[in-house]
Chain A
Amino acid sequence: MSRNLIIGSALSALFVALAVISFLWTPYDIETLDIPNKLQSPSALNLLGTDQFGRDILSMIMMGARTSIAVALLAVGIGMALGIPLGLLAAARHGSLLDELIMRGNDLVFAFPSLVIAILITAVFGASAVNAIIAIGIFNIPVFARLTRGAALPLWERDFILAARVCGKSATRISVEHILPNITNLMIVQGTIQFSLGILAEAALSYIGLGAQPPTASWGRMLADAQTLVSIAPHTALVPGFAILFMVLGLNLLGDGLRDWLDPRIRVART
């Protein structure tokens, strides 16, 4: 196990644990305002201090982790659920009109700056966590479709695929039985990286007020709220900022570590 993998999984596990614990328990209830206690610095009572409404920031971070992870996870789920089949289909029908249509469709989505379209979607359909998930998810589809197609194409040239075709298996069946298991590692690694990008995108949408709506906690909106308070209570901005930083860093290290760990060639070289 590489150092990247250990640090990455530890950081990611920490935030996932915070999110899970938040379902059972948080230090304070974040829906109760406690104005007299506002903008407290970190102390024994409030480990990470309080915000402008006197809410406990640690509790907010825990609830925010839940939002971030849920949005990013579902967005990656959408990307995988639609992107991988599209990619498999394009590879199976390589060179056909269908392949062209899928790939040019991908290019079309890639051609737009993702955040701008996400803003458009949430602006038209209203700002909510669900719309943020859909907006981010749409941009994950071409990533997975393209990666899947690229990885599947050389596999289609391999003899064991030919042998399966000789056995009369359909392209769909070969894609599911033979291609998919051989690209799983790649998808896990890319999934981790897209997950971290999803966290960032969710934070960005929330920051401009187009993500999860109050009272649902969100790191991006915590940052936005803290913007005017940086000079008098810097911890209100620093804490969510570092939460985003460490979560994204953790996931990237995890993805990197997984890539090395899952690649048998690199693993052999190391042992």
Chain B
Amino acid sequence: MSLLAIENLSLQIGDTDILHDVGLSVTPGQIVAITGESGSGKSMTALSVMGLLPRGAKATGQIKLDGTDILQTAERDLCQMRGNAMGMVFQEPMTALNPVQTIGAQVAETILVHEKTTKADAYERAARMLERVGLKVAPTRYPHELSGGQRQRVVIAMAIALRPKLLIADEPTTALDVTTQARILDLLKDLVQDFDMGLLLITHDLAVVADIADKIVVMQKGRVVETGPTQDLLANMQHLYTKALFEASGHQVDLPDNTAVRTGSVQLLYAKHIVRDYALPRKSLLGSRPAFRALDDVSFHIDHGERVGLVGESGCGKSTLTRAILGLEDVQGGEIRLDGEPVFSAGSNLAVRRKMQVVFQDPYGSFNPRHRVDRLITEPFHLLENPPTGMARDTAISKALQDVGLSPDDAGKYIHEFSGGQRQRIAIARALIIAPELIIFDEAVSALDVSVRAQVLDLIADLCRKRPLAYLFISHDLSVVRTVTDRVMVMQAGQIVEQGATEEVFVNPQHPYTQTLIAAAPKLPELPYAVETI
């Protein structure tokens, strides 16, 4: 007897079809993972189960939780069920907690809403639940005192405080670092067994899916395209989309050989003993301002045409390093030189700046929404002494757009007319238009769906083939860094703890932190056969 049974679920919002004939089931103690790319309808399926559909949504079909049809249940009864019969864990632990309530109070609230019990009893049980999810801090703490992983534990404690039969987790580890992610996944697995709950896990990360799920549901454009027990499905994928998804997740790019370019040339980027301190607020009225050392004696170099990766978890100083290299902020110690010239100077040193460009993570925030594409991608022309005008400018724009696989006609469009992957291509076009020596990819593919990510990575390899390109590829995703770099640096707490040839570091990590990182990263299963690329 299944705990949750969804049958023929279709969903419309306005005139748009969101879900079409979705069916899946979860039994107690089972972990069912819904996976797919953005827009596949996986989150909407989860919200339908919670009865939390947005206004104007029309759902048909059946969602039976323990025999009750959610779609036929009145809102008042649904309130009774939420938290009681089903719990939910959201993606963003930073916003899922109320910042002005202690964590104990927030967990106790779930209990008090549903059960007629004393406050003392609820707090007592909340404390026990927080302990159960592995939180080693007092329940009187406030959310801002906790790390992301600890907060996600609190969110989980809230969701399971009343021991619901079904737990829904919507991308519960996406916002977390790999080492934290591994621990949260272990906790979820453990709770499912211990409480005999059903877990409906929504995630885009196939490595996570393969690692934890008993059953996989693959969704595409609102339809379930393939479903089956994890081992069977991995061993014998039927649908082309499933195959494409797995292929793209483990995508290996074909980097051209660059030894010829590198030999004999001087160092392109050279950083020696960089120190970057940020002043913190005063602790007392007259005391001096304490400093936070974001970069602590960082030294490295990048050769001409060399592709270097930088990995590390959030807060390790990656972004600070990017800003320092780009010359946007001065450093307190050491020096950074690009082709022999210091990158930071009081006035703006256009000669140095035109040798490097950057591609940012967020394809939605990287462009001024009020400018057209031609104006967006020609912004670096500001760095040139004689920027091309008229025909030459149009030719440069067309060429830049074609180089990244877009059409010259796209020059007249606004940025909102493009998808995330296309925007990232435009960001690369902007970075390449003045043919810089060095490009910094700051988590440039992290926000993209796997298939789009694979395409953008291929594009980068392609560009390297056209002309020697040196880049610093910053990412938290080890598998991506491994495939697009020659050399890798590992950063922890403002220091580079290990650097070396990429394969060497991944195969034989020396520093304990590197070893932990590599061990914690979820791995895609080896597919038993070569998957054909589409």
A163 near B379 with CB under 8 A, answer: yes
Shortest A153–chain B CB gap in Å is: 15
Q: Which of B333-375 contact A (CB under 8 A)?
A: 348, 350, 353-354, 356-358, 360-362, 365-370
Residues of A contacting B379 in the complex (Cβ-Cβ under 8 angstroms)? 163-164, 167, 169
A162 near B358 with CB under 8 A, answer: yes
Alpha-carbon distance between A167 and B381 when the two chains are bound, in angstroms: 8
Shortest A187–chain B CB gap in Å is: 14
Given contacts A158-B365, A168-B348, A168-B383, is CB(A163)–CB(B358) below 8 Å? yes
A166 near B366 with CB under 8 A, answer: no
Q: Is B87 on the interface with A (CB-CB < 8 A)?
A: no
Residues of B contacting A166 in the complex (Cβ-Cβ under 8 angstroms)? 326, 328, 353, 356-358, 380
Contact with B along A135-179 (1 / 0, CB 8 A): 000000000000000000000001110111111111000000010
Q: Is A181 on the interface with B (CB-CB < 8 A)?
A: yes
Shortest B339–chain A CB gap in Å is: 16
Alpha-carbon distance between A162 and B353 when the two chains are bound, in angstroms: 13
A159 near B328 with CB under 8 A, answer: no
Contact residue among B326, B354, B365 (Cβ-Cβ distance under 8 Å from A159) = B365
B328 near A162 with CB under 8 A, answer: yes
A182 near B353 with CB under 8 A, answer: no
Residues of B contacting A162 in the complex (Cβ-Cβ under 8 angstroms)? 326, 328, 358, 360
Q: Is B430 on the interface with A (CB-CB < 8 A)?
A: yes
Total contacts A-B at CB 8 Å? 51
Shortest B66–chain A CB gap in Å is: 35
Shortest B369–chain A CB gap in Å is: 7
A163 near B430 with CB under 8 A, answer: yes
Q: How many residues of B contact A (CB 8 A)?
A: 24
Alpha-carbon distance between A169 and B360 when the two chains are bound, in angstroms: 18
B382 near A168 with CB under 8 A, answer: yes
A167 near B382 with CB under 8 A, answer: yes
Alpha-carbon distance between A168 and B351 when the two chains are bound, in angstroms: 10
Alpha-carbon distance between A122 and B361 when the two chains are bound, in angstroms: 55
Alpha-carbon distance between A158 and B360 when the two chains are bound, in angstroms: 10
A160 near B366 with CB under 8 A, answer: yes
Residues of B contacting A168 in the complex (Cβ-Cβ under 8 angstroms)? 348, 350, 353-354, 382-383
Alpha-carbon distance between A182 and B380 when the two chains are bound, in angstroms: 20
Residues of B contacting A181 in the complex (Cβ-Cβ under 8 angstroms)? 368, 370
Given contacts A165-B328, A166-B326, A168-B348, is CB(A160)–CB(B368) below 8 Å? yes
Given contacts A162-B358, A162-B360, is CB(A167)–CB(B368) below 8 Å? no
Shortest A180–chain B CB gap in Å is: 10
14 residue pairs bridging A and B, Cβ less than 8 Å apart: A160-B367, A162-B326, A162-B328, A163-B366, A163-B367, A163-B427, A164-B379, A166-B356, A166-B358, A166-B380, A168-B354, A168-B383, A169-B382, A182-B370
A residues lining the B interface (CB < 8 Å): 158-160, 162-170, 178, 181-182
B residues lining the A interface (CB < 8 Å): 326, 328, 348, 350, 353-354, 356-358, 360-362, 365-370, 379-380, 382-383, 427, 430
Known: A163-B367, A168-B383. 17 other contacts (CB 8 A): A159-B362, A160-B368, A162-B326, A163-B358, A163-B366, A164-B379, A165-B326, A166-B356, A166-B357, A167-B379, A167-B380, A167-B382, A168-B354, A169-B382, A181-B368, A182-B368, A182-B370
